[in-house]
Each structure stands twice: as structure tokens, then as C-alpha cells.
Structure 1
Amino acid sequence: MNKTKETRKEYDVCLLLEGTYPFVAGGVSTWIHNLIKGMPELTFTAVCILASSKEKAEYKYELPDNFVDLKVIYLHDPIEIKRSIFKGISNSSIQKMREFHHRMDRGDISMMKEMVEMFRDDKFPLSELFHGKKAWDMLVDQYKPQESKESFIDYFWTFRFTHLPIFKMLPQELPKARVYHTISTGYAGLLGVVARVMTGRPLLLTEHGIYVKERKIEISQAEWVYRKEDERMRIDSKLGAFQTFWIRMFEQLGKLCYDYSSAIYTLYEGNRQLEIQEGADPDKIRIIPNGISLDNFLGLKAKGHDYMGQTEFAVGFVGRVVPIKDVKTFLRAIKIVAIKLENLKVYIMGPTEEDEEYYEECVNLVKLLHLEDIIEFTGKVKVTDYLPDLDVIVLTSISEAQPLVIMEANCAGIPAVSSDVGSCRELLEGRTVADQALGPSGIVTKVADPKSTGEAILKVLTSPILRQKMSQAGIERVKTFYKESDLNKTYLKIYKDHMAMDDLE
């Protein structure tokens, strides 16, 4: 390490973030924000990975004083590649890269440290990786022309799209920190691997949603991943060759992050099992449930609320208007409710600009269902302004981890109806024997099932005694098991324990 690097400012914690805080609002970002605020005695910085500089990047949070000097990397921005007669890839280097790929295909990551160091020593200049003959020959070898049934040109572009972001991550200069903490695997996790290799400092991983699982869902539904027309016409669930290519890449990135992490934290047992299936060492994994600030939500629903005499009802949906939240199932469920209840108001509270096409489809569905007078898209709002007037919160996501919205609703004394994803059943029915003894604080329904969702909403709204019991159970559940102050104490100890460690080999 040269003198310049030795005198760089050192932070306590460097967060490695992909598509989240502080540029994107949501449950994970709010968790990060509250974690930083809850530890004013530590200094935090971050490397934030965003898709493109063409998209407007604005802070969605007021940054805490102890969060400084964040660095932004744009994943898909083009790189200026200049050819040079003086920079090339040696035969030994290209052979090592071939060997690395062969080993990775067998699950052997033993050469990762050597690859990171070679990229950082410029032994793999991008000009040669994308235009050089030796790299071309290696790509043809990976394609296996004698065996492959796919078009080489499609393979070529798929390789470029998948590998350019990886090549961009490996040489990145990272802030100097005593601990590196990534909030996902994927590209942020790869930065964590680089940090661990180059600094020897501990790498912590916290997974809210399982990154590989979420990418599999996206890729299986994606139109941007090339599939042959005859494959698109099949009515089955088989993935195309290039969808499989993408998924395999994210699986390998996930396994790398698991292997290089000093410790892995997740939110509930279901996540832990998924991580083990993806190759994580069970001995590294610890379950730490989320927590929320009781002061912000406790008592929002008035204790003297008249459950018995109520004739007007308000339903809330809190979340981004994007496909993974399955807003369309929610809208169809509301139609079922609206047929039975006349005095109904529905608020969809969350950003609408993240997937404008999907938002427009939802708006059109509202019109098709003749729900314009009932449903309001509020955009991003302060949820606490709406919670006191709500009678039930609904979540219809097809994938979640441990959604804050349910904990917030529980704390405010509002029952929830949720699809059976992530830890939602634990949050509404209890995780331990003592937790379950409190009683349910909502109803769990099938995924993508408007009928069961609508019926559950109706049951909550039309059963005042049940709704009152659920309200009380939710308040007690959060007060007992999901306090943010407990979460912050736990992570503060984790950080201090790892900051005290000597550099790791």
C-alpha cells in the first residue's frame, strides 16, 4: 500500500449499496437510514451502485451527520475504451482467467483473490478484454461452438451485458474502513469481496430479500433477456438459454459473497434456509429480525375508536407501484370488497415513477374496474399522516422479506392482510410460542389471489370484535419483539466486535 492510500481517511463502516439508500425510498432504505441514525458514535460512508447517470439521482432522505463522503458507481454507463499497443494480456494471464472460469463452473472460488489482484494491476485492460484476440479466443472457447445450439452473436452480447458491470466493479477504489457491510449479494456483494481481498478487513452481509431469488423472478419475467421466438411461444415455465446464463451469473456472485463474508445476517428462518440452499455456510448465519421506532407509530389509532358503530372504511396499500408488489391483485381484490361495501376509500401510498409503464397499466385497470371514485394513488407520502384513518393495511407482494409496513401497521393498531411471502406469516401470527399466544394481528392469503385477498379484507372490516382484537395483538407484538432500539444495540455490538479484529488473511 502506498503512502497516499495509507493516509486516506478511515471510516468505521463502509456500506455497499445497490439501488437503495439514499436515492431510492423503501423498506430497505429506511432500515439503513434508521441504522445509521441510531449509531451517532460511528462514522459511516457508502459506495452506492445505481443503474445509469442518465436517470436523475436525488436524495430521498435527509442524510445523518455521521454519514459522509458517499461514492456513486453507475452500473450501465458506457466505458471509454482506448486501445494501446503497450497494454495487452499475457498468455499466462489469459490462461489463469480460463482456469478461473472452469473452476467457477465447478463451484471452486479459490482463484478469486488472484483475479481481483490481476484486474487491479491492470493485467486485464478493458480494451483487450473487449477487443483483443486472446480474449476473443477465450470467449469462443466458453461458447463451445461444437456443442452450442444458440446463436453466437446472441451469446456474445449476453456475455458483454453480464460481464461489463463485473469488470467495472473489480478495479474500483473503495473507501478505507474498519468494517465493510453489504446489504445484498449481487454487484454490491462483489464490491464487498473486493474490499475483503484488498484490505483484509471484515465483510458483513445483511440480506433482507434474497438477492438471487429476486433476480430469478425478474429474469424469468423479463423481456430484455433475449429468447428465441419459438421459446417465447411455448406455454411452459422453461427458461431460455440466456435467461439461464444471467441466473447462473447471479448465483455465482451470491456464492462468492457468502464465502468471503465474515458473518451473514438475515431476518427470519425462511431466508436462512434459502441462503443455505444457495451455498452459504449455516454456521455464519444469524437471524436478526427488523425493528421499528415505537414512538413514531404507537397509539396512532385512537384507543376509543368505535369499532362497533363504524359504517365507513378506509383501506391502505403502502409500497412502490411496481410488478413485484403485485398492485393489480390488490386492485382486483378491492373490486370484490367494493361490491359488498358502499362507503369505502382506498389509498395506494408509494412512488409511481419507478416503473411508469406498470403504473399506467394499474391506472387503466382502476378505470376498467370502475373504481376511480374509490381509489387514490397518493404518490410518496408521510404514511403516519394516513395511518390514523385506516382500518386495514394490505400487502399483495409476490416477494418480500420482513416488510416494515406490516410492523408499522401492527404498532399503530391496524390489522393487516398479507400474501404469504417472506416472514409475513410470522409477523401476523407469531414466530415463537409466546408470540403466537398474543393472537393474530391480521390474515395471511395466497399469493396473486384477488379472491382470497378480497374476502380477507371483508372479514376484517365487517368483524368489529375481530378487528379490535387484531389491533391489540399487533401493538403488543411489536412492543415485545420488534423494537428498533433492540436492533440498533445488536448491530452496534456486531460492528464494534468486528472493528476490533486484526486484519484477516
Structure 2
Amino acid sequence: MNNEYDKNEKEYDVCLLLEGTYPFVSGGVSSWIHNLIKGMPELTFTAICILATSKEKAEYKYEVPDNFVDLKVIYLHDPIDNKKSPFKSISKKNIQKMRKFHYSLDKYDIGFMTEIVDLFREDKYPLSELMHGKKAWDLLVERYKPDMNKESFIDYFWTYRFTHLPIFKMLPLELPKARVYHTISTGYAGLLGVIARVTTGRPLLLTEHGIYVKERKIEISQAEWIYHKKDERFRVDSKLGAIQTFWIRMFEQLGKICYDYSSEIYTLYEGNKQLEILEGADPAKIKIIPNGISLDNFLGLKPEDHDYKGQTEFAIGFVGRVVPIKDVKTFLRACKIVALKVEKFKVYIMGPTEEDEEYYEECLNLVKLLHIEDVIEFTGKVKVTDYLPKLDAIVLTSISEAQPLVIMEANCAGVPAVASDVGSCRELIEGRTVADKALGPSGIVTKVADPIGTGEAILTILQKPVLRKKMSLAGIERVKTFYKESDLNETYLKIYHKYMKMEDLE
């Protein structure tokens, strides 16, 4: 392995590799990163954050700790300079290396990775040559297989450009000098981690909250902007088109590369571990480290001796971005079911609405269609601690989650949860270990996209005060025993110290 370290270059303890998250996006993963950095003031952190384009205004959503310095931002889809470059064109020898690399990836063989990283860093080909050069074009046509491919070449061309330009941008990137590199996903951030591992010899750690490949598969299968050839009968077809498959396969390959080059892999619960194994991760590398929260922020928000009997006015909350993956529409339909049986009923949907404005408008229209305008309030981003004391239940209807902080926060505050059976929601509500399960449920788990089941679960909690009391106490005890943020920080601090002390890996 190459070692690009300059002895005079500033060295950080940990370099975080981030994609579309901290400190520019608020939410679960970003909060986790913020609290991790803040909980280890004795370490110095830097980061590279990957964003889509510089045209979108990127503002800090957090007051970053003093030990988080020198953040570097990469924009994946900014236009490239098409002017002629003084650099020589790609040689036939190096085109052959690229060809071998692509065909190796087709077989999920990543043994050629070191050579391709060295190639890009040594020759430093300009992006204009990689995207517009004659030899690169010939390789693209060869990969398309024009004699047998029935898909549109134009669609293939633009898909190739859109997926590969970020990779070409990152391969020659100069990375900060760090004792440990820690990526919080696979994908493009994971690729940066692989580059760091190859070029510096330092350890690469991977933490996956949600499984990146799985989430991209969901997005790609639902994306209307990705071309999918339809037949003349316009029938519903669950099969993915060739272009969708192209996208998914690329993310699968990036994931496999990151898994193979990571020294250790951390995830939040057993279900995630099994998904990582299916995507090619070595089971021996994977360790489960559940998230934690700061107890001081949530304990006591609702008094443990609160009497629920005789209550006639109720309030529930939904915490999350108003986007399709959170399935807000199922939640709204469930709220209609509850509103038909509970006279005094208020719902707070707490989270940003600007991320997918079209979906937000659809939700507003659904509220009107269901005639629940007086029940529903979209609050935008708020401090959850201001609302938890007046809530009788928290509801999640997501179609994909990892280990949602909102359930832990609600548990800690003594607020029962209703959640779809995704990610670790069942573990958070019903318990993970024998001792955890013995505490009893702190809410109710429902099926995905099930408004009737969700509505009935909410009604069960609201209409059974003795059960709600038991769930409240179980949630408080569960978080106090198994999900303390201080335990999480101590675990990661030990991991960092372990790998920071290692000599360069061979």
C-alpha cells in the first residue's frame, strides 16, 4: 500500500467520511455524529462531507464542538471543466487497467482496487478526459454492448456519467491525515474510506445505521426520474428496468468494496447484521452497538406517577421528515380512524417539510380530503422535548428505519410508541435480550403501510390507561438500562484508541 503522509502535515485523531448529513442536515444520524464528537472532547475530529451540488445552499444545522475542525466539502454533481487539458490522454495500458477493473467488479472481485486507486492518483487524469476522451468513450460503448443491448444508449450514457463522475472526482482526492478513518455509510462516503485505507494504510471503520444499499434500492425502485421501459399495455410490473439495475448494481459493488476494506463494521441491531452479510460483509467483522441517548434530556418530562384515568383529551405525535420513506400518508389515514372514535384529539407532525415539497403538498391535500384539518398540525422542525410532555403516544409509520432515536426518546420520557415493524423498532418496543423483554412492551408494533392496524394500536393505548401506564414505565426502565448515550460513547472511545495505536496496516 502507498503511504502519502507528509510528516509535517497536520494529523487528526479521527476523520469522519459523511454523505449528505452532518453538519448540514439535522436528524437521527447527524444527531448521533454530533453527540459522538461532543462526547469525546479529548479527540480531534475532522470530516469530509459529500453533498449533491454547490447550487444548494449548505448551512450548518449544528453548533459544532471545538474538537471538530477543518471540514472539507465535496460536491458530487457540480459541472466539470470541458476545456482542453495540458495533461496527456489516457494510455492504452491504463485503459486496459480500467477495463479489467470494471470486469472484476462485475464478478464482485475487488482485488484490483489498489491498482485503480494508484492509477488515478499517479496520473491525475482531468475529468474532461475521463468523461469526454476518445478512449474513455470507446470503453463506455464496449460496456454497453451495442450488438445485444436493447436499452436506450442515451439513457445508458447519462446513467454512466451521473454515477461515475462522483467516483472520478473522489479517486484523486487528497484526504486529511488521520490516525483512524470512520465512514458512516457505504456508497460514495465508503469509497472515500477505501481510498484512505489504500493510500495511507490506516484503519477504516464503518458504522451503518441504515443499510445504504437497501435504502438506495428502495429509492431507485420508486424513482420516477430513472427511465424504465414500459410495454404498450401499461401493466404493473414489479421487475426493475435495466437502468434501475445499473444503479443498484453500482451501489452493491461500492458496498462490497467498503465491507472488504473495513477493519471492523458496526451496526445497530441483529436485522442489520444479517442484511450486511447478505450484501457480502464478513460476519466476523460485524459488531452490534445499539445507539444511546442522553437520559438527562428526557427523564422526568412526564412524571412517572402521572394518573391516566379519566382522561378525555388526547394528543399524539409524529417525529420525522415529511418524505415518502416516512409514509406520512399511512399515519394520516390512521389519524382519521382515531378521530372518528375520540372526540378531543390533537396530532402534531414534527419535522421539516421542505425536503420534498411535492410530497408535503400531497399530505396537505390528504388532510383536507379526510376532513381532519382541525386535528392535524404540521409544526415544522421543533424541539421534541417541548412536545413530549403533552403527548400520549408517539407514532412511526416508516417503510424503512434503522434504530430511530425518536422511539428511545419517547421511551425515556415515558411516552408509549406505535411503530411499523422495520429496523430495530420491535427491539426498542418489545426488548432485545431476555432481560430486556422481561420489562414488558413500551408500545405496539404494527405492519408496514397499515393504517387500520396503526389506528387500532393508537386507540388501544389511548383507551386503556392501565396498559399505557405499564408501557410508560417499561420504556423508561428500558432506556435507563440498555440505551445510555454515555455507554455508547465509551464503547466508541475504546474502539478509536484501539485502532489509533495500530501501526500502518499491511
Task: Please report the TM-score for the alignment, with normalisation by the length of structure 1.
Answer: 0.98
Measured in 1, the distance between the counterparts of 2:412 and 2:124 equals 55
Q: Within 2, Cα distance between the matches of 1:7 and 1:240?
A: 51
Q: Classify the secondary structure of the residue corresponding to 1:230.
A: coil
Shift of 1:129: 1.7
In structure 2, stretches of 5+ residues that fail to align are none
Aligned to 2:238: 237
Instruction: Give me the whole-angstrom Cα distance separating, in 2, the residues matched to 1:500 and 1:3.
Output: 19
1:460 aligns with 2:457: no
Q: What is the Cα deviation at residue 144 of structure 1?
A: 0.9
Whether contact under 8 Å (1:13, 1:180) holds in the other structure is yes
Letter in 2 for 1:110: G
Letter in 1 for 2:425: C
Amino acid aligned to 1:275:
E
**Equivalent residue number for residue 222 of structure 1:** 223
1:126 maps to which residue? 127
CA deviation map 1:381-426 (0-9, x unaligned): 0100100000000000000011000000000000000000001001
**Partners of 2:3 and 2:200 within 8 A in 1:** no
How many equivalent residue pairs?
505
For the pair 1:71 / 2:77, whether they are aligned, the reply is: no
1:69 to partner: Cα distance: 0.8
The answer to whether 1:489 aligns with 2:490 is: yes
Tell me the residue number matched to 2:338: 337
Which residue of structure 2 lines up, in the alignment, with residue 376 of structure 1? 377
> SS state of the match for residue 340, structure 1?
coil
Q: For residues 501 and 128 of structure 2, what CA distance do their matches in structure 1 show?
A: 41
Cα deviations by residue, 1:303-351 (Å, 9 ceiling, x for unpaired) = 3322011110000000011111000100000000000001001000011
Tell me the SS of whatever aligns to 2:73. Answer: strand
Contact conserved, 2:316 with 2:391, CA < 8 A, in 1? Answer: yes
Which SS does the other structure have where 1:488 is aligned? helix
Match of 1:408 in 2: 409
- Kindly provide the CA deviation profile for residues 78-112 of structure 1, in whole angstroms up to 9, marking residues without a partner as x: 12133236411111000111011111111111111
2: CA distance, partners of 1:232 / 1:377: 40
- 1:40 is the counterpart of 2:57: no
> After the TM superposition, which residues 51-450 of structure 1 pair with which residues of structure 2 at under 5 Å, given as runs?
51-84=52-85, 86-122=87-123, 124-230=125-231, 233-450=234-451
In the alignment, is the contact (CA less than 8 A) between 2:37 and 2:68 conserved in 1? Answer: yes
Letter in 2 for 1:403: P
Return the offset for 1:179.
0.4
Bigger drift between 490-499 and 368-377 goes to 368-377
TM-score with structure 2 length normalisation?
A: 0.98
Asked if the contact 1:200/1:503 (under 8 Å) is kept, the reply is yes
Give the Cα–Cα distance (whole angstroms) in 2 for the partners of residues 123 and 352 of structure 1: 42
SS at match of 2:419: strand
Contact 2:187 2:212 in 1 (8 A): yes
CA distance in 2 between counterparts of 1:489 and 1:452 reads: 39
User: What is the CA-CA distance between 1:22 and the residue it aligns to?
Assistant: 0.7
Cα distance in 2 for residues equivalent to 1:169 and 1:70: 16
In the TM superposition, residue 126 of structure 1 has moved relative to its aligned partner by 2.0
Q: Is the 1:46–1:71 Cα contact (8 Å) retained in structure 2?
A: yes
Q: Cα offset for 1:232?
A: 9.5
Aligned-partner Cα distance in 2 for 1:150–1:85: 36
Identity of aligned residues (%): 82
Listed one character per residue, the Cα deviations across residues 269-315 of structure 1 (whole Å, up to 9, x for unaligned) are: 00000000000000000000010110000111123322011110000
Counterpart residue type for residue 400 of structure 1: E
CA contact (8 A) 1:118 1:124 kept: no
SS at match of 2:192: helix
Cα distance between partner residues in 2 of 1:2 and 1:169:
17
Which stretch of structure 1 is more off in the superposition, 483-492 or 115-124? 115-124
Cα pair 1:39 1:492 within 8 Å, conserved: yes
1:137 aligned partner, one-letter code: D
- Would the aligned equivalents of 1:87 and 1:125 in 2 still touch at CA under 8 Å? no
Helix, strand or coil for the counterpart of 2:123? Answer: coil
- 1:394 touches 1:416 (CA, 8 Å); kept in 2? yes
What is the CA deviation profile of residues 350-377 of structure 1, one whole-angstrom value per residue up to 9, with x for unaligned ones?
Answer: 1111111111111111111111111111
CA contact (8 A) 1:93 1:123 kept: no
Tell me if structure 2 keeps the 8 A contact 1:18–1:49. yes
Give 1:137 shift. 1.2
Q: Residues 194-237 of structure 1: CA distance to partner in whole angstroms, max 9, x if unpaired?
A: 11011111000000000000000000000111122438933121
| Structure 1 contact 119–125 (Cα < 8 Å) conserved | no
In 1: Cα distance, 2:292 partner to 2:5 partner? 41
Alignment match, 1:17:
18
CA distance in 1, matches of 2:52, 2:126: 23
What is the letter of the counterpart of residue 438 of structure 1? L
Aligned to 2:296, the other structure's residue is in SS state helix
**CA offset digits 1:122-164 (Å, max 9, x no partner):** 3543222222221111111111112211121221111111111
1:88/1:123 contact within 8 Å kept: no
Instruction: Structure 1: give runs of 5+ residues left out of the alignment.
Output: none
* SS of aligned partner of 2:116: helix
CA distance in 2, matches of 1:160, 1:414: 48
| Shift in CA distance, 105/401, structure 1 to aligned 2, threshold 3 Å | same
TM-aligned CA deviation for residue 177 of structure 1: 0.5
CA pair 369-2 structure 1, distance change in 2 beyond 3 A: closer
DSSP 3-state at the match of 2:194: helix
Q: Amino acid of the residue matched to residue 376 of structure 2?
A: I
Asked if the contact 1:13–1:181 (Cα under 8 Å) also holds between the matched residues in 2, the reply is yes
- Relative to structure 1, the CA distance from residue 339 to residue 156 in structure 2 (aligned partners, 3 Å threshold; closer, same or farther) is same
What is the CA distance between 1:4 and its match in structure 2? Answer: 8.9
Q: Distance in 2 between matches of 1:299 and 1:336?
A: 31
Distance 1:397 1:231 in 2: 34
- Partners in 1 of 2:49 and 2:70 — Cα distance? 11
Please say if residues 421 and 445 of structure 2, whose CA atoms lie closer than 8 Å, have aligned partners that are also in contact: yes
Helix, strand or coil at the partner of 1:147: coil
Contact in 1 for aligned 2:318/2:394 (Cα 8 Å): yes
Query: How far did residue 2 of structure 1 move?
Result: 10
